[in-house]
Structure 1
């Protein structure tokens, strides 16, 4: 099956945001937008679902806090209790104020590292992965909006040129 897409090139992120809003208002589906840097608000303008990475971050932080509490209770109370600075070594609750920095650091450590790993796995990014951007210019100074053509090529070209596209390319893919 052959599919045709239009790549509309933009040289400014504000012009791109305006173009995305106009294309969505005209009821066209934007397949993808390739940018050299993150554009604030682009996901909402494209109508993408909100990310759930914050939820996973909270769960990973809770896991880190749990690991820190269990680890400190085992190491400092159960396994090898020591009298450090005159603090009692028989109760976790009596020592907890001294353990707060460790609990905080383990929470942040787990949340940060596991969130990055989750992002890479979810985005299917791994070492030696071939890039998916359609044009090397999108890693430097150009923005590309990709729209699939459904017997409306002339209408799309006119719309995209009206939105400020500096270049249009028609790409025919055969799958």
Structure 2
């Protein structure tokens, strides 16, 4: 199934931010904005919800810390206790100060790697996936705002031309 969308091109990120605010103030829904680089504040201007990736990062860090504690307790205390530098191997608590670097490293390792994997899966990015940007100029020097048309094409064309769009196109977009 396909729907008609208006694609407005901009060549400056400040003009794009002004245009997004103007379109949102006119109560239109912006489907997507394609940018060649991250634009600070664009997500807030579009009204997008804050990301929850920090929460998952914290949970992944807790998993890493747990793995580190269980692993070190098993390896250094239960399975093969060794007297290294005069440190006693009677209990985990007595050796914990020596294990702090390992706990820190595994916490960071798990948080970083699992957070990246979660980001790729959530964004539906995987190896050999083709790009979904509608115009190659959005990877170089242009910004594109995409708005779905609901019997308001003339109104949107007028609004977008007033916002400083350098080019406005109407095209069909496949809905996945």
Q: TM-score range by the shorter chain?
A: over 0.9
**Secondary structure at the residue paired with 1:82?**
coil
Within 1, Cα distance between the matches of 2:150 and 2:128? 35
How many pairs does the alignment contain?
175
Within 2, Cα distance between the matches of 1:48 and 1:78? 50
Q: CA RMSD, aligned part only?
A: 1.2
What are the within-5 Å matches in structure 2 for residues 18-57 of structure 1? 18-57=18-57
State the partner residue of 1:123: 123
Within 2, Cα distance between the matches of 1:173 and 1:12? 24
Within 1, Cα distance between the matches of 2:91 and 2:54? 34
Q: Deviations over 1:78-135 (max 9, x none)?
A: 0100000000011111111110010000000000000000000011000111110000
**Secondary structure at the residue paired with 1:172?**
strand
Within 2, Cα distance between the matches of 1:174 and 1:64? 41
Q: CA deviation at 1:136?
A: 0.5
Within 1, Cα distance between the matches of 2:92 and 2:174? 65
Runs of 4+ in 1 over 4 A off after TM superposition: none
Unaligned runs of 5+ residues in structure 1 are none
2:135 is equivalent to residue 135 of structure 1: yes
